Copies of this chain bind each other. A is one copy, B any other.
Amino acid sequence: MQAIVDFILEVDRLKAVTRKIRLRDSDRYENSAEHSWQLALLASSLAPHAPAGIDMDRVIRMLLVHDIGEIDTGDTMAFVEGGWEERKAAELAAVRRIFGLLPASEGGPLLALWQEFDDAQTPEAIFANAVDRAMPVLLNLANQGQSWRENGISHERVVRRVGPPIEAGCPALWRYLEVRLAEAREREFFGA
């Protein structure tokens, strides 16, 4: 029991990992814990548009743990280029440390879920990655492009970066977003 308590108090620190996007209702920047919660809800709401036969419960569990490595590394915006391998190695070391606080029977499956998300090969992981890429786009569309403008991100760069993974995991969502992103360009929601 103490191992479980140590683990859950350690992951509390994900609430203090700040992302680049602000909440709709306040000027506070979003943190990675509440982001993970929202992704789990978005995934389950998208069920009618998810690939047939997908195990949605595994998607949800994957999304709940996919950012835990950021406790040691911090959030990296999806648009940063370079240094990718080093950051991935650091995140892997972090999740090994953190899931290693649990007994192997519990920590092992969580590490496997994290790895599955990161590898993005199974239908569940491809869908989960689509959801992870789509949520900040939805918030930016509702937010006059706040994080795109603050970070100098162009329409072209967003489409190039998030289009392929969202289309691969949830084509109906990408068809929706593509139209909204074009409208957002007209409204000058982008930073470059």
Residues of A within 8 A of B (CB): 1-2, 4-5, 7-9, 11-16, 23-26, 28, 30-31, 33-34, 36-38, 40-42, 44-49, 57, 60-61, 64-65, 102-103, 105-106, 110, 135, 138-139, 142, 172-173, 176
So how many copies of this chain end up in the complex?
2
A61 to chain B: which residues have CB within 8 Å?
44, 57, 60
Question: How far is it, in angstroms, between the C-alpha of A116 and the C-alpha of B29 when the chains are bound?
Answer: 33
A30 to chain B: which residues have CB within 8 Å?
15
A49 to chain B: which residues have CB within 8 Å?
1, 4
State which of B5, B23, B41, B142 has its C-beta within 8 Å of the C-beta of A64.
B41
19 new A-B contacts, CB < 8 A, other than A1-B49, A9-B138, are A1-B176, A4-B45, A7-B45, A8-B38, A8-B45, A11-B38, A12-B24, A13-B24, A14-B34, A15-B34, A15-B38, A34-B34, A34-B37, A37-B40, A37-B64, A40-B40, A41-B65, A44-B61, A48-B103
Q: For residue A46, which residue of chain B has the nearest CB?
A: B4
State which of B28, B46, B57, B103 has its C-beta within 8 Å of the C-beta of A57.
B57
Least Cβ–Cβ distance between A68 and chain B, in angstroms: 9
A48 to chain B: which residues have CB within 8 Å?
103, 105-106
Question: How far is it, in angstroms, between the C-alpha of A113 and the C-alpha of B98 when the chains are bound?
Answer: 30
Least Cβ–Cβ distance between A164 and chain B, in angstroms: 19
Least Cβ–Cβ distance between A168 and chain B, in angstroms: 17
